[in-house]
Amino acid sequence: MSRRLVWLRHGQTAWNLARRVQGHTDIELDDAGHEQAAAAGSWVAGFGASQLWSSDLARARQTAAYVAKESGLDVVGDERLREFDLGERSGIFLDDYQERFAEEYAAFQGGDFSVVPGAETPEVVAVRLRGVAPEILAALGQGETAVVVSHGTAIRTAVLALTGMPLDLNQLRVLPNCGVAVLEQRADDPALMRLVAYGLRAPNA
């Protein structure tokens, strides 16, 4: 059996609800996010993971804590699993962004992060995700699974980068809060992974 990475997006934050750009801003889960993460924790534990990794940002760490509680696994925190750094636009409300910087906003929504002052691009984020993923896989035995708690756009980038698809973020929709993407290591080419599920979610999340 192939090694698997189960990528789990964090639960909802107040900034998600308000449609506010988070990036590296360290925002905690709101009450609904905690409920989502609690439901996801028991569901994701059903994947039988032997490793649990997480972004070091609070919203991911708090989500991972629910998985840890249900699975008995320790959380390995890694800043390489963070969301995109969105530079000068961190904290802006999307409605304000569109009104004040209409042309830039349109490009940003189209996946062109190079127009955002100080932001990371998909290429930059792909490098750090391609760096951490082999370390996670190396910690797994054959047929074992790791849960990786991260962020919406970071997970989209991971899926594209690790499967060898072009880094066009528009190929994938953003996962819902506590949504899951499952990647399996390819037997014919262990350097690449295969997307086997996308958009899964705990029934009560």
Q: Catalytic site residues?
A: 10, 83
Please list the residues that pair with 182 across neighbouring strands.
6, 197
Phi-psi region of 178 (alpha: psi -120 to 50; beta: other; left: phi over 0): left
- 201: phi then psi, degrees, rounded to nearest 5: -155, 145
* Bridge pairing between strands 51-54 and 145-150: parallel
If DSSP codes are grouped into helix, strand and coil, which group holds residue 46? coil
If DSSP codes are grouped into helix, strand and coil, which group holds residue 33? helix
Greatest alpha-carbon pair distance for the chain in Å reads 51
In whole angstroms, what is the distance from residue 49 CA to residue 42 CA? Answer: 12
Nearest to 82 by CA among 54, 62, 63, 108: 54
In whole angstroms, what is the distance from residue 197 CA to residue 2 CA? Answer: 14
In whole angstroms, what is the distance from residue 113 CA to residue 120 CA? Answer: 7
195 alpha carbon, distance to own chain's centre = 14
